[in-house]
Amino acid sequence: MSGFRRVVSGALVLWMVWIGAGCAPKIVPKIPQSGQIDLESNIITKEAKGVRVSVQTQEWAFAPYDLESYFTPFLFLIKNDTDGKMGVKGSEIVLFDEEGNQYNGIPPEGVEMVMATRDLYGRGPYPSVFFRYEESHPPYTLGFEFPAYLRRPFSNVSLLSLPDGEIHPKSQIRGFVYFRKATTYGKTLRLKVPVDGFEEEFEFEIRK
């Protein structure tokens, strides 16, 4: 392929991604609900027992740029205003829609694996030999393990994820928690966030 064709092809791909992003469903805070709501920035903040949690939507603007075609990321800021340590696990944060569908937090490496398969093999259809399902493998690996020399994870997914572990007193952490795409079936979403003694629900609308 000539240099000119590569440039044109690259521009076409970027244009398609931009068009797709413009048409993608938006997740916005639902009103009314308890807590502080910033509709301009799509942020809900709730506080109890010395724990302050802010959740923001529509904030993924990094490579891989088509991540929201397959996953629903939420950006968290969690502050510990208590005098003791507290633990946080992204996998314990759960998302529901009004149709009863449940979405559990997915480890960043699971997101990277799924995105890497699309980078290597395109968007499908895929040969079943690559994507067989086996109970011995976690669902997010699709039953296929890449040889080490073929793995090329999207480091942004892990680097920008909410870190599991302890939050020290008077400290805060931030990062994304990823869910399987949650904008397909319902019209509303309910995010259940447990952090030690803190447990609150954050409500959102899906605008298509």
Residue 206: pLDDT band with limits 50, 70, 90: very high
What structural domains does the chain harbor?
3-207 (2.60.40.3880)
CA dihedral 187, 91, 137, 179 (to 10 degrees): 30
> Closest by alpha carbon to 102, among 4, 182, 5?
182
pLDDT above 90 as % of the chain: 59
pLDDT at 201 over 60: yes
Question: Residue 25: CA atoms inside 13 Å, Cβ hemisphere, count?
Answer: 21
pLDDT in tens, 25-37: 899 999 999 999 9
Predicted pLDDT of residue 19: 42
Q: CA dihedral defined by 180, 60, 44, 164, rounded to 10 degrees?
A: 70
Q: What is the pLDDT of residue 175?
A: 97
Task: Kindly state the average pLDDT of the residues 123-146.
Answer: 43
The answer, yes or no, to whether residue 142 has pLDDT greater than 60, is: no
Please tell me whether the overall predicted TM-score, pTM, comes out greater than 0.85 for this model.
Answer: no
CB environment 163-178: b (16+ within 10 A), e (fewer): eeeebeeeeebebbbb
pLDDT tops 50 at residue 7: no
pLDDT tens digits for 54-69?
A: 999 999 999 888 899 9
